Structure 1
């Protein structure tokens, strides 16, 4: 039997919630008109305290450049704020990072692929979208960044709404966005002209214990987002010719005791096989009892292939990106 040609994702529904106030679960191409869970009634209506404790929002931006990989995040946990910025200098294999926590009002994450800000002790992050551009600024003693993303040249983003591990979660992922800027860190200034950026915006009602493995890499003509954990295979996406296609489940094989050893990522059906060669690590381990966070984010290059049923495999060769093993009690 011949398989049907692969079809890209279709456009999103007119609203996040259905007429009976249930989540519009699914995967789409484009942005949801708005993300607001306050009217949620099904599968159940969260009370005020439950909503405050379980509502998590973040916006993460990565910059991939031949000489450096930069990761920046603004995180609104509902009851607290968090922000981080790091730069991995590939030639020196040196990581410069800063992370700070604060009160809830210190972080703000707006609608998908738009504004976010964290103003924390010793760290200020601002992301502002207007006129088809996004301006990104980081200020700290260890690292400073000024960058601009060309949202008008962005491949079609993917929007996923899924039950996740509690009620519902909405995430928007982008592929490679043309970007430029300037990074100042470790006593040097780097021109980020003609680099690629990607954005991850997430907003949902998540369980106290949330765990995942994640892989993401984007360049001209190549982009993918893979996950195993709290979202299942819901956000597994590959971009072909600038359009997002849905992928099935994947398995992450790696040495947790030595995350700098090679990783393998395979689809259950066998049509996706990626090798990941780590070059450096961004990691954290915080345990405050009822609240904890442990993560390892490896920076390096992917090679192999990604297969979409009904379509030719996309070959991947030395594409810079990240893998992650993350566990949070939040």
Structure 2
């Protein structure tokens, strides 16, 4: 697919390939009252971000470049589940200063604030990721995507908006993580990675839950899970399972908090039954009236079962991420 848009409108559905081009200027934005929305107003309503996670059984790393129009945001964290140690950096830039998110298939994204820098280079075969703070390199990683089918979809959102997402899980990764005064070899320590590229004209007030898992099942297959509610629920769903790089669509799920550190995620047909124990949380709460965000992302341990195409996948204490997000933007 060359372009996500055709005759000024987004193509809707789940796709086999990533669009070569996503340019907001190709979208003809019209309000419910048939007013054409252009220029600065259109750009401010367009939201885009790239999130990447890397993990093994001990460490969880998360980083993102976010352009919300009104503000740019970049963050990086590394959590050691065994010791509880955390390294975290998070910065904002007004009106997306020094913030660039590339929504094309190939290109570069970056966020810079003072001495903190995130660089993500998208290539045909993967991602090249670097994170720096001053003279210190925090992450230098190469993520491979060629042997894993992508989740690519676009769905209608609100009265005249749309949401596009490209996600992949359980990806191979090489390079080094620099944490707690040591260089950690990502390949030797069996790290896997997950990608989330999302953009669109999102609801001005929205909320969602999200779960992402990258690991191995009991039989040694590469296992990936992506589950969400509150987003991409019109016409298509982003709920998916990956086994050794092959993707399978999953049904709708409910996220239910049962105790402070315990959640349940399940489907109506009983095919998905997951228990989530949460640990360290990345949290932000900002309320500026017109713009607000309540963000929770927990490093989590995930157990349970998923039945897909008459086959049962058992998940035994796998590391993942659980997210709860409310936004007004």
Greater RCO, CA 8 A, separation 6+: 1
TM-superposition CA deviations, 1:276-313 (whole Å, max 9, x none): 122221111122222121111111221111233x4323
Equivalence map 1:1-330=2 (5 Å) = 15-18=3-6, 20-41=7-28, 45-103=36-94, 104-110=96-102, 111-112=104-105, 114-130=107-123, 132-140=125-133, 144-152=138-146, 154-165=147-158, 167-193=161-187, 194-220=190-216, 221-232=222-233, 234-254=237-257, 258=260, 261-308=261-308, 310-330=309-329
Cα distance change of structure 1 residues 239 and 151 upon mapping to structure 2, 3 Å threshold: closer
Residue 320 of structure 1 deviates from its aligned partner by: 1.2
Runs of 4+ residues deviating >4 angstroms: 42-45
1:7 is matched with which residue? none
Gaps of 5+ in 1: 1-12
Residue 112 of structure 1 deviates from its aligned partner by: 4.3
Residue 222 of structure 1 deviates from its aligned partner by: 1.0
Residue 21 of structure 1 deviates from its aligned partner by: 2.9
Gaps of 5+ in 2: 217-221
Q: Give the SS at the match of 2:5.
A: coil
**Alpha-carbon separation, structure 1, partners of 2:238 and 2:122:** 24
Cα distance change of structure 1 residues 169 and 31 upon mapping to structure 2, 3 Å threshold: same
**Alpha-carbon separation, structure 1, partners of 2:272 and 2:80:** 29
Q: Confirm or deny: 8 A CA contact 1:118 1:125 kept in the other structure.
A: yes
**Alpha-carbon separation, structure 2, partners of 1:273 and 1:251:** 10
TM-superposition CA deviations, 1:168-209 (whole Å, max 9, x none): 111000021111222223444433223101110011011221
1:9 is matched with which residue? none
Residue 86 of structure 1 deviates from its aligned partner by: 0.5
Cα distance change of structure 1 residues 246 and 27 upon mapping to structure 2, 3 Å threshold: same
**Alpha-carbon separation, structure 1, partners of 2:299 and 2:226:** 15
**Alpha-carbon separation, structure 1, partners of 2:327 and 2:223:** 30
TM-score by length of 2: 0.87
**Alpha-carbon separation, structure 2, partners of 1:198 and 1:296:** 18
Q: Confirm or deny: 8 A CA contact 1:114 1:134 kept in the other structure.
A: no
Q: How many equivalent residue pairs?
A: 312
TM-score by length of 1: 0.87
